[in-house]
Amino acid sequence: MNLKIILLILSVFLLLFSISHIILWRSLLNSIKEKPNMSKGILSAAASCLSNLTMPRLSLGTLDINGPEKVRSAIHGALDLGYKRIDCAPVYFNENFIGDALQEYFSSENNNIQREDIFLTSKLACPFHRKEYVEPALRKTLSDLRTDYIDLVSVENNLSICETMPSKTYPFQSNLTFVLFEQYLIHWPVSFFPLPKELNKDIRGYRTEDIDDSDGGNNIDPSVSIHETWESMEALVQKGLVRQIGNIVLT
């Protein structure tokens, strides 16, 4: 069999594969439009893994959703559709807008969704991997996302995702006043030189995008190990600030 025939067969196969996926997705989207309850079921379907906690399988990604109006439209639209999980990060530079949009939605009389119904994920930015900056970075995120609760034992929280490193298990204490975040992840397993001036939680959001700038690798701090960062994140669980910790990119 010559090369032209082989290439022709591969081309036909790829074409059929693409068409079948297009048909499948169109069918799914049409079903969701015709059956709103079905869409809510799909979006609220939960997954479980190493621990016995659960999290919704599908989440709204918030990367590149910029500006308060776009964020508001995306968050409100997603919650209206039935999304229960929202993926955030300081380096998306919109957590303050997400916090405002969530608070506005929760305070509306036209919905029955409250904070305890939503699963929030955020991440630790690279300049804050040193142990003394891990907790202040989390508290900055909590301030931006306007997350502040009393006794949230009823929140349905998740396990760490499959790439997550195993964490110690701590008893979750009730009847305490604390702030809580469901899942907190190390965004990249490499540390930048610290930028403590950016951790002013009295200023919501970030003034610049310096926390996401490696300067071609010149800002990488080789003196900070992943173990130092991980142990500091485990302390967040112990304090009741976070239910689950993990790492996104670690091979």
- Among candidate residues 83, 92, 133, 184, the one labeled active-site is 92
The helix (run of H) or strand (run of E) holding residue 95 is helix 95-107
- Give yes or no for a contact between 195 and 210, defined as CB atoms under 8 angstroms apart: yes
Strands annotated E in 133-240: 149-150, 177-178, 181-186
**Which tokens belong to 216?**
């071609």
Query: What is the DSSP code (8-state) at residue 212?
Result: G
CB atoms < 10 A from the CB of 89, how many? 21
d(Cα 17, Cα 6) in Å, to the nearest integer?
16
**Which tokens belong to 80?**
């209206």
Q: What share of the chain is helix, strand, coil (3-state, %, to 5)?
A: 45, 15, 40
170 is catalytic: no
For 4, 176, 209, the CA distances from 101, given in Å and listed in that order, are 56, 27, 22
Active site residues: 92
